[in-house]
Amino acid sequence: MVATSRMFYVYIIYSSSLEKYYVGSTDNVERRLGQHNAGRGNFTSKGCPWILIVSIELSSRSEAVRLEHKVKKRGIKRYLQDNNLA
């Protein structure tokens, strides 16, 4: 039996009502976006609906958390511009 490796994702979502971005990490982007849009989460409950801007696939949770912190430190909008994602 071959073990399948679980992938992790860093995702960036946007709220047009707040005109704000949010970055997070997860192992299931669709489920997490659904949670944000269902109002589960302190910051994101106020900005529904959220739309997915980008998700970046990584091979481990530690890589995902590292990238999430890097994006937050740089600033989400600036990170998107630097990487031609916005």
Range of the domain at 58: 8-82
- The answer to the question of residue 3 being in a domain is no
Secondary structure of 11-27 in HEC code, one letter for each residue:
EEEEECCCCEEEEEEEC
> What CATH number does the domain containing 24 carry?
3.40.1440.10
pTM of this prediction?
A: 0.90
- The answer to the question of residue 37 being in a domain is yes
- The answer to the question of residue 2 being in a domain is no
In sequence order, which ranges of 1-86 are alpha helices (DSSP H)? 29-37, 61-74, 76-82
Mean pLDDT by runs of 10 across the 86 residues of the chain is 77 97 97 94 91 97 97 97 90
What's the rounded Cα separation, in Å, for the pair 12 and 85? 10
- The answer to the question of residue 19 being in a domain is yes
Number of domains in the chain: 1
Q: Residues, the chain, total?
A: 86
What's the rounded Cα separation, in Å, for the pair 11 and 71? 10
- The answer to the question of residue 27 being in a domain is yes
Report the first-to-last Cα separation within the chain, whole angstroms.
42
